[in-house]
A and B are shown apart, each in its own frame.
Chain A
Amino acid sequence: MDDDSLLFLLALGPASAAGLYWMLYRYYRNTDKSHAFERETAITAQPVSGKDAKAGEVRGTQATAISGNNVGDYRRRVKRL
């Protein structure tokens, strides 16, 4: 068994303890709940327009997604122009 697998197996105990704590805590306290106004409000949008221009290439990265991926994180604000 290699070192990575060993570490992974050893980390399973603390990880499952922390995971269970968080899951139950949120089930009781619902600290993550709020009004999903993005989809629960009546919104009428015109067709989306825009531009896409190739800006470069990434070769041989081990990252599975673009760094700072926030495509689904609608409520995190970025620089306002």
Chain B
Amino acid sequence: MSTQRPSGPGSPQDVPPVPGASSGEFSIDPATLPGPIRDELQAPDPAAIDTESKELRDGLNHCPKCGATEIRHRAGSDKLICLFCRYEWTAARVEEEFGLGKGIDQLKGTQIASGAQGINADTASLRSFKCTGCGAEVVVNTENAMTARCHWCRHVLGVNEQIDNGAVPDAVLPFHIKKDEAVARIRQFVGKRQMFALKAFKEEFTPENVLGVYLPYMVVDANASADVAGFGEVETRRYTRGEGKDQKTYYDADVYQVQRHVDFTVDDLTIESSARRGNLDTRANTNNVINGILPFDTKNAVKWNASYLAGYSSEKRDRDVEHLQPRLEDQLLSIARAQVHSSVRRYDRGVRWEQEHLDVHGTRWVAMYLPVWLYSYHQPGSDGGMLHYIAVNGRTGKTMGSVPVQQWKLITAALTVGTIVEGLALWFIGR
């Protein structure tokens, strides 16, 4: 039995029109159609921002001056340096290159930059390149690295093509804080938390083992409106009743039904785009301290170039826009509630918000690698123990961490202080 395949005009057997050709896509000239239909036909595709660096597709980042591939990120700056001829240059800032800072209040629908597109689960993490220097096969594991050296001819190859496994973002924010400074900051952070720190943690503390990691984030611009409704109370009278020990304070208040509406735009809201890093459950992990070193100066992010990652580790994005939408909406509602706070100050007995509503008019999603110095310590225990992080923002130096505590010491100290206070209280009662 032969399989029936759709054929003829309008079927997948039709030869697709050449992209950009004036005729062919529509058999009727859209200009002759009614306005609403014409607008829909001629509306731009939602993924309007193409951030791919096509010139780097072969995996070789050549020095623009001498053509060598020994390109490194120059520590402490946004520049790339050719180790062969010492020429320095900077990749273009995505903010200007793709106009990301502009028109947020005009945003409509969901715009997704090409590096933030959906992840295809079948796409392998291992990428093999044919070295254009010598023709050898070079493999890069995009789970944790974006560059590799050809072991035959020593050329450095980087993953620059936006493959659909989430490994190549739109932009990267290079490290500014050098390793020595990160080590000093971690040392200082732990130095202020010595007395009750876990003994094994103190003994094994080697901040020199800190790792520079590029972590995956989605940087979102949003145009939204929110409504909140609830009740607020204004104190009208305060008085006391009773005498001596029975004296009690009473309040009279007017109750108001309160509604608020706010239109707002958010520029560069930063959300973790890895399921593991986005899980901020403090009973199971310490990812919240990595979240705590945000924000980054994402305005200075540069167009993706794998050479920035040479010498650093990286983690791959595994979350798509649709997975992150609920988290974005949650954060937008929180922002709206913070924005209306100043308008309900007259309710001096507080407001009980009971209902909230969010309209997201438009969003723009850009995938970015952001630089984090990460020191980790694994505390053994039940359920696999706990992995404690001390994180340093690779741009601002903001440091946050989780230092494991020696429980018996902490409990002893608390009980000692409690006993002394209780002793004083008993002495006071017995006077």
A interface residue numbers (CB < 8 A to B): 1-2, 4, 6, 9-10, 12-14, 16-18, 20-21, 24-25, 27-31, 33-35, 37-46, 48-72, 74-75, 77-81
Chain B hits for A1, CB < 8 A:
429
Q: Name 10 A/B residue pairs within 8 A (Cβ), A-sorted.
A: A13-B422, A17-B414, A29-B403, A30-B292, A44-B265, A46-B264, A54-B255, A60-B250, A80-B356, A80-B358
**B401 and A45 contact, CB distance less than 8 A:** no
**A52 and B257 contact, CB distance less than 8 A:** yes
Asked whether A51 and B259 contact (CB < 8 A) given A17-B415, A63-B251, the answer is yes
Task: For the complex formed, measure the closest distance between the CB of B100 and the CB atoms of chain A, giving whole angstroms.
Answer: 12
**B352 and A66 contact, CB distance less than 8 A:** yes
**A9 and B196 contact, CB distance less than 8 A:** no
In the assembly, what is the distance between CA of A50 and CA of B347, in Å?
A: 14
**B255 and A81 contact, CB distance less than 8 A:** no
| Residue from B197, B333, B422 in contact with A77 in the complex, judged by beta carbons closer than 8 Å | B333
Task: For the complex formed, measure the closest distance between the CB of B431 and the CB atoms of chain A, giving whole angstroms.
Answer: 10
Asked whether A28 and B353 contact (CB < 8 A) given A35-B295, A41-B295, A43-B335, the answer is no
**A71 and B353 contact, CB distance less than 8 A:** yes
Tell me whether B56 is interfacial, beta carbon within 8 Å.
no
Task: For the complex formed, measure the closest distance between the CB of A52 and the CB atoms of chain B, giving whole angstroms.
Answer: 5
B interface bracket (residues with beta carbon within 8 Å of A): 35 or more
Tell me whether B252 is interfacial, beta carbon within 8 Å.
yes
Nearest opposing residue in chain A for B292, CB measure:
A33
Task: For the complex formed, measure the closest distance between the CB of A22 and the CB atoms of chain B, giving whole angstroms.
Answer: 9
Task: For the complex formed, measure the closest distance between the CB of B295 and the CB atoms of chain A, giving whole angstroms.
Answer: 5
**A49 and B261 contact, CB distance less than 8 A:** yes
| Residue from A74, A79, A80 in contact with B337 in the complex, judged by beta carbons closer than 8 Å | A74
Chain A hits for B78, CB < 8 A:
none
Task: For the complex formed, measure the closest distance between the CB of B300 and the CB atoms of chain A, giving whole angstroms.
Answer: 14
**B338 and A38 contact, CB distance less than 8 A:** yes
**B331 and A37 contact, CB distance less than 8 A:** yes
Task: For the complex formed, measure the closest distance between the CB of A16 and the CB atoms of chain B, giving whole angstroms.
Answer: 4
**A35 and B292 contact, CB distance less than 8 A:** yes
| Residue from A28, A44, A77 in contact with B405 in the complex, judged by beta carbons closer than 8 Å | A28
**B252 and A58 contact, CB distance less than 8 A:** yes
